[in-house]
Amino acid sequence: MFTGIITDVGTVSSVLPGGNARVTIATHYDMARVALGDSIACAGVCLTVVEKGAGWFAVEVSPETCARTTAGSWAQGTKVNLEQALRMGDALGGHMVSGHVDGLAEIVDVSIAGGAHVLTLAAPAPLAKFIAEKGSVTLDGVSLTVNAVQGVRFTVNIIPHTLQHTTLGDAVRGARLNLEVDMLARYVERLLADSEG
């Protein structure tokens, strides 16, 4: 489990294609404190550390993950938001995030309002019902509050701190971001469907 609070921005240093793509990511994390088998959310995708060294770690990315997330387009130099998995006693600063990406949201507009960057995104139609005003979403691993919803479109504000300390500062129209909807919304939808069935 994660919180959507980014603790580092890593850089992809190599991608080795194969049955499972092997991706090496440079990081500022103290890798002596990261064990093989630990989970790290990379741009919101929960991945397992399979090799590590001072200032880097490697993960394997399945074809399914490559097809359904931005991981399929990662190349040398790609910046990725990083968050290590929660440990008992850690503060829950964002919201409960699984690291299981639901789909890709496309940025349809970038604007500035009241000193904050506003991103307007289009969610895949099947996921739109899980996005609610003042609810939570995760975009490329970043926990955000939804400002408004209209059909499949929704907006989020990005404060200056988040712009400076995540990859969202580089967000441009047409870019696609890994989207994870609030897991509580999924459970509510399932409960409602069961009660109607």
Q: Which CATH number characterizes residue 52's domain?
A: 2.40.30.20
Whether residue 92 is contained in a domain is answered as no
Q: Are residues 132 and 181 in the same domain?
A: yes
Q: What is the pLDDT of residue 37?
A: 97
Q: What is the pLDDT of residue 157?
A: 95
Q: Are residues 80 and 107 in the same domain?
A: no
Q: How many domains does the chain have?
A: 2
Q: Are residues 76 and 124 in the same domain?
A: no
Q: Please, are residues 4 and 70 in contact by the beta-carbon 8 Å criterion?
A: no
Whether residue 94 is contained in a domain is answered as no
Give the mean pLDDT of 138-161: 96
Residue 148 has pLDDT above 70, yes or no: yes
* Residue 197 pLDDT class (50, 70, 90 cuts): low
Q: Are residues 79 and 108 in the same domain?
A: no
Out of 84, 118, 148, a domain closes at: 84
User: Got the DSSP string for 56-102?
Assistant: EEEEEE-HHHHHHSGGGG--TT-EEEEEEPP-TT----S--B-S---
How does pLDDT run across 85-136, given as a tens digit for each residue?
987 666 666 678 899 999 999 999 999 887 779 999 999 999 999 999 999 9
Domain that holds residue 135: 103-196
